[in-house]
Structure 1
């Protein structure tokens, strides 16, 4: 081959193909964005303690895989059992009081009816004596005695009505209701239910399937509200990728993504964008990155993008763990 032909190939064809390669590379850059600031995430639950008590039994070991509902440990129940018995006794006492009040109400109702009849009879008798005194020789003392008897009956009726109203008020104005309708009973029942609830909380169960961590030791005393353990789900992983504010302009929900993990070099997972954070990462920090003095330095902000991973049999071969480092690439357009 002549030197002129070689020179032509060198100065024409090689730059031409190099230009095509550069164009394809740059086009690929324009159609995807990548970041190494990405981490594996999964559902996890921190179990909190509801009662002050000590650990009397630990049934699982640290980092053991557990099923939802499986008993993890037991706390001392002695104080909670006593509290339940106390609330049960209180409820029985409330029921007995309500039963007595209802019986007293029925008795007082009959008493009011009796005094009402006596008042009616005394009034009728007084009218009869007054009528007879006009035409017959009846002693005034007989009329006075009738007036006195009527007044006594009316007073007794008034007192009985007041007592009936008092009993009715203690029965919330509805003396014939079931026990569950009365405020005192409902409060006592709620206190008993709460005591039973706390008793049940001395048996600590896994709220979801996964791996348990940060377990207490046998004999540890746990305060109310203290974290007991954490369950990390071993399925349903996703990736939280933190892209710079310039990179997210073309990211949309539904776009495809490719993810690799530092734990498994060369292995690639497919996924898709399922959500973008409404604010930058710094806005969720305790002290947002806002500086108003003269020493301000601009720092590129990052926005979290959630990427769901497609179901794949490789998860059984290459298991993932929460917090693993990842590299994500989002395909902006096909």
Structure 2
């Protein structure tokens, strides 16, 4: 199909990519598809249909987003000049400049560039589905946070007796007092560019349910950003009067207002995840929500890098 290169052949290939065949094969095929200007208008609907059939964890998802960018770029023949994607990211996420020079971040950098490009090519398009960049941004964040905090939680779980004792005392006994301290700092519900989401404080201890049952959490695949946000509240804040401690040993723990900054970051991460769930499952993202999400996302990422 790729060798034929016709619009009909490429449409069949894209349909396969968005189907229920072998994920590895679909991902490999998606990575090999390039959308040229002559076929852009014809293949745009096929790409959107394929994206609608898969989720953000699918191996073909990011390649389909790249195709979507290619279609938008091919159709925007009057654009004055291409966007400097790295410069746009660095303007709101200064640490990105250094990250591009470090080894081991290639996949993350590539995904951030794809999401940012998609934001610029679709943000002002009429009737466009604006949720794909949000989905990809959150996929990047999920992998980054898991890679950062996963080893810290794994280290705690290597001494289960100590960990379970902490959970029993802090979460089992100290939570009511800790919750009262958190309440004025934890805005719920909250809005992001007009999108209203709920961030229930009472749900925070749910992230430690396995630990409360004296079972280790499985870390062989990334935990959600929601779960990590809740775990930050439970394991990354020193609050002596209720027994909560910064067991994750995050940087800057001794700085003034360190606990408040960690709670603020956890709330922002939780909010981003809630918006992602809203726009991908129950509503479409409007331009205002997308722009506000982008600002909050990169600000949160900058804070994460500072703590790492």
TM-score tier by shorter-chain length is under 0.3
Q: TM-score scaled to structure 1, two decimals?
A: 0.20
Q: Report which of the two has the higher share of strand.
A: 1
Q: Report which of the two has the higher share of helix.
A: 2
**Over alpha carbons, which structure has the higher Rg?**
1
Q: Which has the higher contact order (CA 8 A, sep 6+)?
A: 1
